[in-house]
Amino acid sequence: MKLSVQNMMRAKSAWSSFRRNHPQMIAFAKDVLNHGVKEDSQMEITVRYPDGTELNSGIRLKKDDLDLFQILMDIFS
């Protein structure tokens, strides 16, 4: 997907829908950001499928990751 005005508008619309559909997740993300995400913090995610299958992953945040998160927050705020 190329970065274009049209794709940015689609992403902004999708973000608005996500915010409406998942307000608890947005509140959680704001709490995390307000607490101050720091380099070397760990982030984990688990996806549970309807059949019971689970996939897990985790990362230790680096400065570059935090920079990316800030850019995305600036774009979609």
Q: What is the pLDDT of residue 3?
A: 76
CA–CA distances in Å: residue 17 to residues 12, 21, 40, 55, 63: 9, 6, 31, 25, 29
**For residue 61, which phi and psi values (nearest 5 degrees)?**
-70, 140
Q: Are residues 2 and 28 in the same domain?
A: yes
> Where do runs of H (alpha helix) occur along 1-77?
5-21, 23-35, 63-76
Q: Are residues 52 and 76 in the same domain?
A: yes
Q: Looking at per-residue confidence, does 53 or 77 come out higher?
A: 53
- Round the average pLDDT of the chain to a whole number and report it: 88
Q: Are residues 54 and 24 in the same domain?
A: no
Q: Mean per-residue pLDDT for 50-77?
A: 88
Q: Is the pLDDT of residue 31 over 90?
A: no
Total tally of structural domains belonging to the chain: 2
Q: Is the pLDDT of residue 58 over 60?
A: yes
Q: Are residues 44 and 74 in the same domain?
A: yes
Q: Mean per-residue pLDDT for 19-37?
A: 86
Coil vs helix vs strand at 48: strand
Domain that residue 19 falls in: 1-36
pTM of the model: 0.57
Amino acid identity of residue 31, one-letter, is D
